[in-house]
Amino acid sequence: MKKNSIVDFFKILFVEVPSMLFNIVRILMGVVARYGKTGEKIGFFVVGGVVIIGVLLVIGIEGSSTNAFCLQCHPYLAKEFYESPHGKAGVTCADCHIPKNIVGFTKVKLGGLRETWIYLTQPHPTTYKDWYDHYKVKWEKLAYKDNLTESACLQCHGAGKEYPYMKVKFEGINIHEALKVKEKGLSCFDCHYNFVHGYLGWREKMK
């Protein structure tokens, strides 16, 4: 279990950034205290507080959507991810795992607090093999339940998007039409599985 990186991360997020903002506001407040009237001072406190909270929220929400953030706790997924077609094409963890609608987005962000708690209190895999052998199956069920839906795929593979699945040709035929994916109401995940995580000849490649 590796704790250092996450400790560093939280130190930056909760100690260094706030203290920097606090110092800026303190200097400005010194100026107001010297020259301003009481009403202006109160107004300044309120505005300052709102600005600080806003900045922290934006840093927290934006920062926690980057690959680097996810890979702090899931480093064993990195190598394979960056060798996969999606990783190479610059698709991010958030593109698939963080829904764009407000309900799904909020649920995942709040779920992240739970993940953090579990990470700090329970054993976590450190190698690809450990993850694959002991966590993968359990977690993928949770992923489908919590955050991973077909609408993520359709952002890029839907009609009119950069890589529409209905136009995919396989051995000369329009494969999804031939398989009647739409008529049968099939989900992408009924057929596409282990195409991002777990597709490498992992026992050989990952120790």
Point out which residues bind ligand HEC (CB under 6 A). 6, 64-65, 67, 69-74, 77, 81, 85-86, 89, 91, 93-97, 115-116, 118-119, 124, 136, 139-140, 142-143, 146-148, 150, 152-153, 155-157, 163, 165, 168, 170, 175-176, 179, 181, 186, 188, 190-198
Least Cβ distance, residue 117 to ligand HEC (angstroms): 8
Least Cβ distance, residue 123 to ligand HEC (angstroms): 10
Q: What is the DSSP string of 81-138?
A: HHHSHHHHTT--HHHHHS-SSHHHHHHHHHHHHHHHHHHHHS----SHHHHHHHTHHH
75 burial level (CB within 10 Å; 0-12, 13-18, 19+): middle
Least Cβ distance, residue 46 to ligand HEC (angstroms): 33
Nearest CB to ligand HEC, comparing residues 22 and 117: 117
Least Cβ distance, residue 58 to ligand HEC (angstroms): 16
Nearest CB to ligand HEC, comparing residues 48 and 93: 93
Q: Which of 60, 75, 77, 76 is nearest to 9 (CA)?
A: 60
Q: What is the dihedral of CA 171, 80, 147, 72, to 10 degrees?
A: -160
Say if residues 53 and 61 touch (Cβ distance below 8 Å): no
Nearest CB to ligand HEC, comparing residues 33 and 89: 89
Nearest CB to ligand HEC, comparing residues 20 and 191: 191
Q: What is the dihedral of CA 96, 74, 195, 93, to 10 degrees?
A: 20
Nearest CB to ligand HEC, comparing residues 49 and 111: 111
Least Cβ distance, residue 89 to ligand HEC (angstroms): 4
Distance of alpha carbon 184 from alpha carbon 133, whole angstroms: 33
